[in-house]
Amino acid sequence: MNDITNINSNRAQLNSNQASSVKSRNEAKQSNEGSSSSSDGDRVTLTNTAERLKNIENELNNSSSIDSARVEKVQSAISNGDYTVDADRIADKMLDFEDFMG
């Protein structure tokens, strides 16, 4: 047989604990907001690795992923009628891709 007589008192204790926790967080937040003058001395510095990663990201954002010289070469070959399609090579690459994905 289960004793359920203390259920309501346990709930009241849980609610009281939660209220205390919320009150403590609010007090800590207010304390931090009141000391904003000390944050004037705070600063953030990046490690060398983080700075290098940021520079690489900027370079990638400013560069094109299209090889313009290659595009021009293919367009010229198509225009001249010199462009040939190697069906076997394309099939092999497709099979390689399927092996890689599967």
In-domain check, residue 81: yes
In-domain check, residue 16: no
Taking the C-alpha atoms of residue 20 and residue 71, their distance in angstroms, rounded to an integer, is: 67
Taking the C-alpha atoms of residue 96 and residue 27, their distance in angstroms, rounded to an integer, is: 61
HSE-up (13 A, CA, CB side) for residue 40: 4
In-domain check, residue 86: yes
Number of domains comprising the chain = 1
In-domain check, residue 63: no
For residue 94, what pLDDT is reported?
96
Whether 14 has a pLDDT exceeding 70, the answer reads: no
Per-residue pLDDT tens for 65-96?
888 999 999 999 999 999 999 999 999 999 99
For residue 77, what pLDDT is reported?
95
In-domain check, residue 29: no
In-domain check, residue 92: yes
Domain hosting residue 81, numbered range = 68-102
In-domain check, residue 17: no
In-domain check, residue 51: no
